[in-house]
Structure 1
Amino acid sequence: GTIKWYNTNKGFGFIKPLDNNGYDVFLHRKELQKINLDKLSREEIENLTLAYNIQINSKGKKHATNI
């Protein structure tokens, strides 16, 4: 998927899946494995393509893991 937006101060954002099913996936900095988004500019972050796994939280919402 591609990063839709990311807040470097708060450490979270959303990924737009490549299948474009209309549901964005929550992204939290603690799940980042190989990239530190906090060190990139907004221009570098937006539309960056990522590989990730999806899990469903206790509220039924999708979130990215192993990014």
Structure 2
Amino acid sequence: MGFFSVVGFIYGRKIKRNFRGETGTIKWFDPSKGYGFLIRDKGGDLFVHLRSVQSQDRRKLKENTRVRFSVENTEKGPQAENIRII
């Protein structure tokens, strides 16, 4: 597992934190629909929503792209968050 940075704001101050993330490969992604799936290096697929992709990477996301991400458990099951191209 590696680290990646996420910038946030606390009390109006910009902060930068490092989070452990997983890695994987985009299985498919349809920007017109705003979603797709990735294959985790640990095994299994995860849902990817456009809003979970770092803004600078949204236009570059395509099949077989290597990414780093965190996993969030939602009502519909686990899904990838904070997705960045590596």
Tell me, yes or no, whether TM beats 0.5: yes
Q: What TM bracket, shorter-length normalisation?
A: 0.7 to 0.9
* Alignment coverage as a number of residue pairs: 59
TM-score under structure 2 length normalisation: 0.62
Q: Which runs of no fewer than 5 residues in structure 2 stay unpaired?
A: 1-23
> Bigger relative contact order, structure 1 or 2, given CA contacts below 8 A and separation 6+?
1
Distance 1:28 1:64 in 2: 8
CA RMSD of aligned residues (A): 1.5
* Structure 1 residue 62 displacement after superposition: 1.1
Return the letter of the residue paired with 1:14: F
* Identity among equivalent pairs (%): 32
Letter in 2 for 1:52: F
Moved over 4 A (4+): none
Q: Determine which structure has the larger strand proportion and give its number.
A: 2
- The structure in which a higher percent of residues are helix is 1
TM superposition score normalised by structure 1: 0.77
